[in-house]
Amino acid sequence: MDVSTSPPQPPDGAEWPSDWLRATLGFFALRALQAGPSYGYAIISELEQHGFGVIKGGTLYPLLTRYETAGLVSTEWKAGVNGPGRKYFALTPLGRTELSRLSADWLRFTHLSTHYLDPERQTKESTT
């Protein structure tokens, strides 16, 4: 596996701090729905595949229910082929707008955070 293309992982098999995931899971879930409707387990699998660790259904489903109530996602039950049906979630136009806003805000926040955490920052700022 090419290390340059694999998602960053927490050090030494640890998990990301739960408060980081709690703060970001909402718009990461919206991002997971950007390509089209999906169900909870598939969203969890996508987030895990992208390096966010294991997200519990008991964390994701209440969030998606709140987003449905807020009009950010719509839901539809689809019959299963070889098993029970699944509840699919899809972004609404309002959800797409919110995802766009949150993504832009997050990029600004991470840029600011990266700058602030730069160990060279104090040296650079004191010479200007």
Domain over 15-126 is classified CATH 1.10.10.10: yes
Quick: pLDDT tens for 67-113: 999 999 999 999 878 888 899 999 999 999 999 999 999 999 999 99
Q: What is the 3-state secondary structure (H, E, C) of 104-121?
A: HHHHHHHHHHHHHHCCCH
Q: Where are the domains of the chain?
A: 15-126
DSSP 91: E
- Which residue reads 């987030």 in tokens? 47
Q: What is the Cα 15 distance to its own chain's centre?
A: 15
The whole-chain average pLDDT of the chain stands at 88
- Going by their DSSP bridges, the two strands 38-39 and 73-78 should be labelled as unpaired
